[in-house]
Chains A and B, each alone.
Chain A
Amino acid sequence: MTPLAAVLFRDMRIAVRVGGGALMGVLFFLVVVTLVPFAVGPDLALLKRIGPAILWLAALLASLLALDRLFAVDHEDGSLDLILMSRAPLELVVAAKGIAHWLTTGLPLIIAAPLIGLFLNLDASAEAALVVTLFVGTPALTFIGLIGAAIAVALRRGGLLVAVIVLPLTVPVLIFGVAAANAAAVGPVPFGTPFTILCALTLASLVVGPFAAAAALRQEIE
């Protein structure tokens, strides 16, 4: 197994074991979205209109939930020292950790989204659009979040700091993700325009995220 595959499988294995964060994100997602109809009231038209926005917002917060500890735990137990010393390029190790985080946090959200969308009176086409936009958009959330997690690596309680750093950077993803999902559900904007921009944001974050996070880790570790 290559070093990068080893990191990917190790992180996924840790996430699904006791104390790992894999199911925390999807549980948080379910709880938040379930509470919305109780807060808003049984206005089906209103729920249908705000549904995609609520689901996206919950997905954004759920993605960040397990992210703040992503590098901090490796820093505390000394693994990060060995990772920094290794032959594997740090950028790719960071990307492998990001992929593992997305597979254990982002992917369960996407699988749960159609079910939970029923609570918000979404119809089939709106749900399909939502799943597609989440599938394209959540990797961007993880990879932007990597930067915040790397900056907060040496802080004991960096969770809030990560949120403060990362949330403003995720605003464009949120805007275009919700716009695309809404376009398919209620119109009148065509689906393609915001969706294309969402794809572009994700592609850019996949490239920028690992490099920025690796640079932050190198600076921080001294």
Chain B
Amino acid sequence: MRLTAVGLCCHRGGRDVFTDVNFALSSGELLVVTGRNGVGKSSLLRTIVGLVRAASGRLVLDGANSELTIAEQAHYLGHQDALKASLSVLENLRFWAEFLGAVRTDVRPALDAVGLEELADLPAAYLSAGQRRRLSIARLVAVKRPLWLLDEPTSTLDAAALECLAGLMQAHMTEGGLIVAATHTDIGLSATHELRLDRAVAHPIASATVRDGGAL
């Protein structure tokens, strides 16, 4: 499986967020997107899943189910946790598993994987920020999808949870999954590719360079 972006441009709110982004990512590889605040890391991830329309450019996921869109084969872990405060931890996770069409509807193993099994019956309103984050990560484990798009996955996580996340990401890549992660911090895994989004202050138009790309 291979995710390729060619000449991707994004135009939002009357300005170019990024222009001419190119990358290619194969099974078992991790692309880390870095760059300053507001440089378009989140917009890039949202463009890949179609939540933001690309102004131009091409995105292809080869070797996947051709009847499904990229978004339908991807997990998107955004800034928001997509949790309902009045539902319990288990109900929240079970809803997403059912809604996203998990083959297996028993979600407890996914809760175990993120270390929330003891809080299964607690309403999500009582979770801390880090626990909420872990619960939304459990969604990625409960439903199998080949492509993971992680937007600042490490925010609010403690050291143990960081290690747990790195383990889950490693396991996903070992199974042949693809991961695109936008982050400021070290996620504890060696990135196969790094995409650095830059915008020089003097120029209103962003440029992107692939460092250690190799795949292009």
**Interface residues, chain A, CB within 8 Å of chain B?**
1-3, 5-7, 10, 13-14, 17-20, 76-79, 81-88, 221-222
Q: Is the CB of A86 within 8 A of B100?
A: yes
Give the interface SS of chain A, mostly helix, strand, loop or mixed. Answer: helix
Count of CB-CB pairs between chains A and B under 8 Å? 77
Q: Given A13-B87, A85-B51, check contact A3 B81 (CB 8 Å).
A: no
For chain B, residues 110 to 167, give those with C-beta under 8 angstroms from any C-beta of chain A: none
Residues of B within 8 A of A76 (CB): 80
With A14-B86, A20-B86, A81-B78 in contact, do A1 and B105 touch (Cβ < 8 Å)? Answer: yes
Question: What separation, in Å, do the CA atoms of A60 and B49 have in the docked complex?
Answer: 39
Q: For A79, what are the chain B residues with a Cβ–Cβ distance below 8 Å?
A: 82, 84
| Number of B residues, CB within 8 Å of A | 30
A82 to chain B, nearest CB (A): 6
Chain B residues with CB under 8 A of A85: 49-51, 71-72, 74, 76
| Whole-angstrom distance between the Cβ of B189 and the nearest chain A Cβ | 24
Taking a contact as CB atoms under 8 Å apart, the answer to whether B83 and A77 are in contact is yes
- A78 contacts B72, CB within 8 Å? no
CB-nearest residue of chain B to A84: B51
Chain A: minimal CB distance from B148 (Å): 13
Does the CB pair B84–A10 fall under 8 Å?
Answer: yes
Q: Which residues of B contact A17 (CB under 8 A)?
A: 86-87
Which A residues are in CB contact (< 8 Å) with B18? Answer: none
> Given A6-B98, A17-B87, A18-B86, A87–B72 Cβ distance below 8 Å?
yes
Closest to B105 in A: A1
Asked if B83 and A3 sit within 8 Å, CB to CB, the answer is no
A82: B residues at CB distance < 8 A? 76, 82, 96, 99-100
In the complex, A177→B35 CA distance in Å?
A: 59
The answer, yes or no, to whether B68 is at the interface (CB within 8 Å) is yes
Select one of A3, A78, A222 contacting B99, CB under 8 A. A3
Q: B53's contact among A2, A7, A87, A222, by CB below 8 Å, is which?
A: A222
Q: How far is the CB of B133 from chain A (nearest CB, A)?
A: 12
Q: List 9 A-B contacts (CB under 8 A).
A: A3-B101, A6-B99, A10-B87, A13-B91, A14-B84, A14-B86, A20-B86, A77-B81, A81-B76
CB atoms of A1 and B80 under 8 A apart:
no
Shortest Cβ distance from B52 into A: residue: A222
B residues in contact with A2, CB < 8 Å: 98
Contacts of A19 in B (CB 8 A): 85-86
Whole-angstrom CA separation of A34 from B65 in the bound complex: 59
Q: List residues 45-73 of chain B with CB under 8 A from any CB of chain A.
A: 46, 49-53, 68, 71-72
Kindly identify which residue among A6, A77, A87 contacts B68, using a CB–CB cutoff of 8 Å.
A87
Q: For A221, give the chain B residue with the smallest CB separation.
A: B51
Question: Can you add 17 more A-B contacts, CB < 8 Å, to A5-B98, A10-B99?
Answer: A1-B105, A6-B98, A13-B87, A17-B87, A77-B82, A77-B84, A78-B80, A81-B76, A82-B99, A82-B100, A84-B50, A85-B72, A85-B74, A85-B76, A86-B99, A87-B101, A222-B53
